[in-house]
Amino acid sequence: MLYYSGWLQKPTLSGYEINDSDKNGFMACCPKKVDREKGLDLILHTPGGDVAATESIIDYLYELYKGDIRAFIPQLAMSGGTLIATSCKEIVMGHQSSIGPIDPQINGIAAQSYIAEFERANLEIAGDANKFLLWQQIIGQMKPGTLTMCQKAIEWSNDILSDALKRVMFANYDEDTQEAKIESVRLLLGDQNVSKAHNRHIPRKQAQDAGLVVTALEDDNELQDLILTVHHLMGFTFQQSPAIKIFANDQGAAYIVNINQPFQM
């Protein structure tokens, strides 16, 4: 099955991000008549999106396939797309492929940045009371509850990552090894002090070094040709049609979200 977003071809539009309506696409392409005992190869290309929708999709796919899923990333599976990939038993990436940080964003700003800014203000004011007025102008713009909301968002994202890894990719490790491997992945994907920016592109080797189960797309030339052919065809389709998101399986089922409205085949 493929789950593709056209954000690279239509960057000025909206609706291409992960959202609750995506469940309809997965339902259309994962019907009962599909032999789920064979597992699922999921081809992912998405910038990410809503955290709640991402969590729901992860849980839905797990219920259907019990974790027997390989995620193929021909180019990009960022943010929520990375969370979906890490919920699978294996991630297949090429030289050109990237995943990305999962640190939550609040109004376009990293939740960790709000907290770091507040902590920095406390430290600087404690060292020099004359800086109070300067920081008051900055911190005073935060609405009540912002820091708590940011902390909860960070915890939620990390919980999704941790639970998904324990359930599938790291399921066969003992508890201590699990926790060590999860912390290594969390630092890479969830700590802005490491990633520096939400749009950071994390290549295959970096993902492998963090402990994720990642294999090389180039290991199978025939499979690589097929995956990249699909990828380029999807890009062409987004360029030449009103589609902004496409779900499809190898049985002919498709769910396409157009600029105006979705339709199912």
Q: Is the pTM of this model over 0.85?
A: yes
At residue 58, what are phi and psi to the nearest 5 degrees? -60, -45
Question: Splitting the chain (265 residues) into consecutive groups of 10 residues, what average pLDDT does each group show?
Answer: 97 93 95 86 97 98 96 98 98 98 93 94 94 90 93 97 98 97 98 94 98 98 98 96 95 90 62
Give the span between the Cα atoms of 189 and 231, in whole angstroms: 25
Position 32 scores a pLDDT of 79
According to the CATH classification, is domain 2-100+201-264 in 3.90.226? Answer: yes
Give 3-state DSSP helix, strand, coil % of the chain, rounded to 5.
Answer: 50, 20, 30
Give the span between the Cα atoms of 22 and 16, in whole angstroms: 10
Position 233 scores a pLDDT of 97
Domains in the chain: boundaries: 2-100+201-264
Tokens of 133: 């007025």
Position 264 scores a pLDDT of 61
Position 265 scores a pLDDT of 60
Give the span between the Cα atoms of 16 and 157, in whole angstroms: 21
Tokens of 131: 């800086």
Position 94 scores a pLDDT of 98
Number of DSSP helices (H) and strands (E) in the chain, helices first: 10, 12
